[in-house]
Structure 1
């Protein structure tokens, strides 16, 4: 018992001693100056000791929790902007601060929250429309165009900035050529290895060549330079007024200026950066490659053309910092540097846009060739020779050359060229003499056939409108089909070539061409809708030949005919324009573009109409055959059925079945047959529905009878009046 009490007393003493010991040593080490944590950290006390942690915005150079035993450990500021380049979002800049960071919108953008400085997620940066805020920002005779983060100023057509390629706010004025040049002549040195010069009094030549003397500085913007250079291609007639030598030198200066602008006006970048610069007549894509960036092959696109370039060896040899690759496409330059600059051959035509490919610091010679894919301005024919060329700089003797360029592949729409150097490039199309003669003959035949069809269609329209005895449902279809075909053929004749490629590449011209293409799309689609209705109505007529009380007025009702004939084409055109507005109008024709398969917005309905009408045509012939087998010896019925058979065969053309030849335009024979046969639509409509219609012939006889009666009456009246009495103003009775 005593032993138990002794053990209990001993345990109580031990615990009491520990508590007393702990209480005697339980001071707060964080309050001890010796144990103070470094700057930008917080001290945490423990039973045994203490530890330090860096405050938010700082990071320990050693352990996350550290003590005074961890020498050389301190809290370093975290650069949030470097660790997360997208921390502030798009169109914003990040500024690091001690222990934190701050976001601010780039110039040309404003924060949605209204705060100049904000944290991530607190605001987004939206574009400022400087043109809307200040309508007269660019001054008189100029237009302001808002861009993402900035704006550009451009002079009205016919005027140019008097400060050249740099637009200086509140200083640049838009003036005419003569005022800018002030009647001075230009003395331009020619880079041909000699000290020759070219003198010119042309204000346009002086303006273009003066671009080459521009020294680009930080005050220039690549977008604004592109706008001014683009305006130089608005009016091609100014280029065409130059002599051949002036045009060669001016074009060379222009292309060199574009190259220098691409290479000298790109900002430095630490990451691979793509930049697209677009204006009315210039389309650029710039690729900025940082120093020692690992890239082997890149592709650039300008308008409808592409550049594939291998950069492996070039990047390995690069010891000069970042590299800029530029690819530029020009709209209109193909009319300036045309095929006549290739060996002075008149049978050569440019069949692509002119493009410029350049790489940093004028690395024109390449260790590996580049591949350029060109989009054809016109569909290439089988007998045409396609030639890949580059612009060879020789001053007054500059020309297209094939040196170092070969054709890899070519089809109707595209050509792929391989070149071992960089310059400006294009695709030429060479026609042989027989091909040129065939094209001229096809054009002449087309014009004659369309005019003949217009004459027949106009006569048919007149007949359907004024011949009351045949005005019924069938005539409604004939009338509207004739009207649609007449308008479509007439607009095609006068407007399909209104691309103005030799005059002006103004916006109004392109809009006009797009409108013409849209109207042609609607009119031809409406024509096929009425052709389909023509086939349906004819089938209903033939099928009901045995019906005693059947009337040709029966069948499709007029209001439904109008809805189907004009409503469905309008819906097709509206959907097509909404899906791809740029599909109307090409560089050579005011018709549908082949890009993105847009031409099928017309070819699709054509195929459907041809398929339906072909089935109906076969059904009509089968029905007529059974009708002929069941006829008695009534000669009139036999004649009527034979006439219907002839009309059915004629309707094969009227219903558009012959348009199937349009899918075989690769062969010259089918092109001629297509033009000739489809021009017969108008004559067949007039022949079948007017000349061979007994009621119409009776109306014709009445009309001609009235005309002859009036003519005879007028001649009789004039012969019955004596000349002397006519002079005296009196009349006498005629002898009986």
Structure 2
């Protein structure tokens, strides 16, 4: 710096520094007085300017310090920037730019531009550039700036994915493109109309197009069936079935009228004699049954049934040693016969041709009729039973395909109405069998059969328990057999109408009932009524309904109704006798304490007698004094007080001083220690109380006699009051006052009076309550006439006594005794 050029160079720097200081001083003199907001700059000391792309509420320049500069949306109104076709304006902070619209791209490669002149946007082919934009079998079709996915014919978009095509099932779409004789087969994007199995195209018709028309193939005549040689082929529309031949039935586990049906020939069911029953007649019968079984042919089913029914008639008509069997063996035989007949007739009926069949077994003759099934009508047995032919057995059955509605099977003895659905077996598809077998002679083996009563229902009817019944059979025994073997609980009730062989006149406790024969676990049986009830009676028949099936009959039952009062008396008497016998045994066993025991019993019995006298006084008080204020105590309370209070007193006395019972000379209470007051105290209280009631009663009766009839004669009034007073003295035990006044045992006057009055207390009660009472005397007179054998005229007695009946409403009332 000390060279020749150092001075000028330094001077130049000094001058620059001074100029700079002067310029800074000038600017500071013009500095902004305000602080401008963001996106703005200071203009002078009072104004600010918004940056390009921003504007304030007042404009580009503003002076209000509270204003702000906001972004200008060049892409929005009022004058948006136009970027050219297929382009979109994009606003930014303080500016904007242009881009191509979706589905377009710039040719120049620049993704953003500023004006229309720079726009090079053109359409993009999405189908070419993005081949997987449409899924599955859908087809991509390019459009201006976009694309669409379309499905080929026979396909449609999936609801889950609108870009994925799935097959359209024309067969299930409801359009029904095929003829009704064909079967529609859907394929991907198409369908075919082909003949169903068992059908073929008609002549000249193809098999497959939508105009295909088919016709049924007769497999039976063409030999295309697969039926077993034990069946017969039956053609059906579009198929065929294999039916068992007449007299044949499906093998176990198979059904009839199926393509795989295999049948076997119907055989006579095995039936042997009941075990344990020894009878020549019964053995001969089952030998005949075994011969029928060996000789049986399905074509002989009708004759076999006739022979079987006739054999049963012969057995029951010429029962022989069956009559000598005991009652239980007879009932076992009946049960075995009824159940076996149902099974065999059901089986043999399946071998018969369809239709109805009736066989009547007359006396030494037979009659057979066949007729079609008849609709329900009034039973033919509504005529008088006396006009019925001398039938022994009658068989009626109907064999036909299961139908709808009801079926009626009728004969002279009984008529049945039931639903076909009840008759048909659930597991079988063959013809349905409905039949009734009625037998009159079956009642020979049913004599004295027991009847299980519906005791609860009869108890409601008679208001008393009902014991065993004696029954009389009034109709034939009718056994019902169906294809359906499960008949213990039917889906619908079955109606019956049974003809009566006689018209009984029902007496009290007699009733006509619908009964069925019920088998028990031992092979025995009895009549029962559960599940059957009577609907009505008229024209010589009884109508019944049952919820199950069995062997039925109409019975007349005579019940023994138990008298509850008599039963109560018997039970109480027996219980009392047992108790007394027990006391006797204890008395004899306890010889050392027998006197003390007798004293205890005397103490209790005397106190009980006096307690009942006190209760009589209370009842008399309610009857005479408080006429409209109550009706006295109930019987339960009377018994509890009459027998319970003495028991409590004796118990307390014996517990407090057990040695007080028994004396040296006689068995009574001991006088020591005042123990006698355990008897005298209660007796004194009762006698004095009854004496007060006696006085009040006599006084009240005197007032009532005056109010009722003031003109009554004094002598008659005195006599009535005297008799009433004497009666009340004995009833209330007031005569025991003489015993309380007997302080001196040597006072023979009081002793005699006390003894006579109290020893003859029962006699005086009999005289006052019975001999002096007109109603009782009238009953005595009736009994005397009956014993003497004279006819007693109740009408005359009633007439002669009608004048006094007004005053005799209750013969045994204490207040009316002897009036």
When the two structures are superposed, what TM-score results if normalisation uses the length of structure 1? 0.31
- RCO higher in 1 or 2 (8 Å CA, sep ≥ 6)? 1
When the two structures are superposed, what TM-score results if normalisation uses the length of structure 2? 0.28
Greater percentage in helix:
1
